[in-house]
């Protein structure tokens, strides 16, 4: 079984609104996978379902071979989740925040792992600084370090670079590439189509429905000339509207 994540006909409703409408997709182990779409596309709902924080109304979900709701405990040590509003403790230092999240996950003798993460995120010189005193980009790096301290096999990132300056976004992507080279499977949601180009495969979502799922280069090859992923998205959206 190569799939890290499998969605089969997943439906999730909020009242009469379908946040996800028969969503079927898979994420292979060791790949960088992007959920792409505007606000309301269903990206956050999909990730929360993967984490077992929500229960699907229909369809089936498997994460690393487990049901994320019924077998949630089996996944907590193997999955890292960075939400849009990841809660750092402002009155704790960088070191103390990482230690706190290590202890939450039951990680012992985490000091070496913490030092490695601080080096990779270039936060070592600031390890004694309070989280409240960090810039937005540094907070995102610290949040990523906290997410990875228990050495998960899969990390789920919900729009991790939204509101972050361009330089910090670029540094964040360098970190993701480094973690990917260590065999971690990464799924991230983003509204930025330039970030989608960095993924092995992407799922284009609109109003909870899957418009396309493939390698960005293959999606662009469907269009004439030097089409961008944005062109592909608009074309798929136009086709969907025409057939609705």
pLDDT in tens, the chain (244 residues): 579 999 999 999 999 999 999 999 999 999 999 999 988 999 999 999 999 999 999 999 999 999 999 999 889 889 999 988 778 899 999 999 999 999 988 898 899 999 999 998 999 999 999 999 998 889 989 999 999 999 999 999 999 888 778 888 888 888 888 889 889 999 999 888 888 889 999 999 999 999 999 999 999 998 887 788 888 888 888 876 655 5
DSSP for residue 48: H
Element spanning 11, H or E = strand 3-14
**pLDDT reported for residue 244:** 54
Task: Tell whether pTM > 0.85.
Answer: yes
**pLDDT reported for residue 230:** 87
**pLDDT reported for residue 240:** 67
- The torsion angles phi and psi of 166, rounded to 5 degrees, stand at -55, -40
**pLDDT reported for residue 108:** 87
Q: Which CATH architecture group holds 1-78+158-163+191-244? A: 3-Layer(aba) Sandwich (3.40)
Q: CA-CA distance, 134 to 139, in Å (whole number)?
A: 6
**pLDDT reported for residue 168:** 81
**pLDDT reported for residue 149:** 92
Q: CA-CA distance, 108 to 103, in Å (whole number)?
A: 7
Residues 6 or more apart whose CB falls under 8 angstroms from that of 64 comprise 4, 5, 75, 78, 79, 153, 154
C-alpha angle 132-138-139 in degrees, rounded to nearest 5: 50
Would you say 220 and 228 are in contact if contact means Cβ atoms under 8 Å apart? yes
CA dihedral 110, 111, 112, 118 (to 10 degrees): 110
Q: CA-CA distance, 32 to 154, in Å (whole number)?
A: 10
Q: Where do the structural domains in the chain lie, given as residue ranges? A: 1-78+158-163+191-244
């Amino acid at each position: 079984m190569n799939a890290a994540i499998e969605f089969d006909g997943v439906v999730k409703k909020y009242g009469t609104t379908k946040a996800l409408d028969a969503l079927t997709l898979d994420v292979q182990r060791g790949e960088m996978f992007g959920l792409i779409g505007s606000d309301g596309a269903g990206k956050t709902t999909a990730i929360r379902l993967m984490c077992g924080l929500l229960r699907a109304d229909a369809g089936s979900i498997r994460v690393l071979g487990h049901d994320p709701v019924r077998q949630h405990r089996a996944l907590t040590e193997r999955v890292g989740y960075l939400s849009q509003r990841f809660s750092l403790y402002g009155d704790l230092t960088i070191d103390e925040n990482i230690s706190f999240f290590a202890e939450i996950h039951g990680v012992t003798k985490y000091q070496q792992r913490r030092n490695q993460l601080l080096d990779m995120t270039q936060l070592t010189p600031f390890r004694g600084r309070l989280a409240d005193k960090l810039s937005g980009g540094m907070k995102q790096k610290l949040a990523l370090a906290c997410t990875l301290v228990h050495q998960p096999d899969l990390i789920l990132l919900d729009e991790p670079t939204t509101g972050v300056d361009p330089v910090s976004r670029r540094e964040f992507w360098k970190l993701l590439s480094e973690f990917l080279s260590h065999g971690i499977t990464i799924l991230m949601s983003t509204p930025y189509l330039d970030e989608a180009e960095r993924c092995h495969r992407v799922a284009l979502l609109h109003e909870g429905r899957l418009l396309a799922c493939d390698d960005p280069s293959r999606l662009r090859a469907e269009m004439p000339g030097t089409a961008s992923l944005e062109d592909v998205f608009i074309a798929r959206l136009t086709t969907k509207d025409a057939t609705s």
